[in-house]
Structure 1
Amino acid sequence: MLDRTDLRILDELSMNSRITMKELGKKVHLTGQAAASRVAKLEDSGVIEGYTIKVNQVKLGWFIHAFINIYIKTTHHEPYLSYIKTQDNYIINNFKISGDSCYILECKFPSNERLNQFLEELNHHANYRLSIVINK
């Protein structure tokens, strides 16, 4: 069971996973060594699965951020899933979901032309509804 200190540690690491254990300890009122021990326990128990970075996609040339609801009329989803595996440059996440649609894709594209090409190819495997992110 996680206590209040563990939750504060997770909150701090979520904001800055590069924080030193000494700094983390100060923020949660522990020594650096005690904070490191807590973090190690959270890692060992699987609560912390890994660390990551936040990348500015626009600065990398990915100007379009889109969510695409996927509708498949049959229970045979393999053609769609096979197609999606070939598009890993554009797909951030492919979530199988409940509700009206079967999946929701989170994607990035460098241009409207490439988005259009992706959608034309996608339409051979599934119907879709597109939403483009305007602002975060």
Structure 2
Amino acid sequence: MLDQTDRKILEELSGNGRMTMKELGARVHLTGQAAASRVARLEEEGFISKYTIEVNQQKLGYSIHAFLYIYTKSISHQPYLAFLDENKKDVVNHYKISGDGCYLMECRFSGNEELDRFLTGLNKHVNYKLSIVIK
């Protein structure tokens, strides 16, 4: 069971996973050693599963951020999944969902030509509904 201090630790680490245990302890009113012990326990119990970074995709040249609802044309999804595997550099996240559509895909593209190439290939396997992120 998580107490308020554990929740505050998770909140602080979510904002900055690189802070020192001394800094974390000061923010949650513990010593650095006590904070480190709590973090170790949170990792062991699976509340913290990994540490990561957030990359600025715009600076990397990926100016188009899109979400696609995927509607399969047949009961066999294998050709679609094979297409995804071949084009995984464009796909940020891919989820099998219930509700509107069979899958939800988040993608990044460097420009309209890359987006068009992807959509042309995708349409050979499934139908889709495209939404472009504005801001």
Q: What's the TM-score, normalizing by structure 1?
A: 0.97
**Which residues of structure 1 form unaligned runs of 5+?**
none
Number of aligned positions between the proteins: 135
Q: Distance in 2 between matches of 1:11 and 1:91?
A: 28
SS at match of 1:53: coil
Paired position in structure 2 for 1:54:
54
Q: Percent identity?
A: 60
Q: 5 Å matches for 1:83-98? A: 83-98=83-98
Paired position in structure 2 for 1:79:
79
Paired position in structure 1 for 2:30:
30
Q: Distance in 2 between matches of 1:75 and 1:46?
A: 36
Q: Distance in 2 between matches of 1:131 and 1:113?
A: 16
SS at match of 1:74: coil
> CA offsets, 1:55-74, max 9 Å, x none?
00010011100001000133
**Which residues of structure 2 form unaligned runs of 5+?**
none
Paired position in structure 1 for 2:110:
110
Q: Distance in 1 between matches of 2:69 and 2:8?
A: 35
Misfit runs of 4+, over 6 Å: none
Paired residues of 2:73 and 2:125 also in contact (CA < 8 A) = no
Q: What's the TM-score, normalizing by structure 2?
A: 0.98
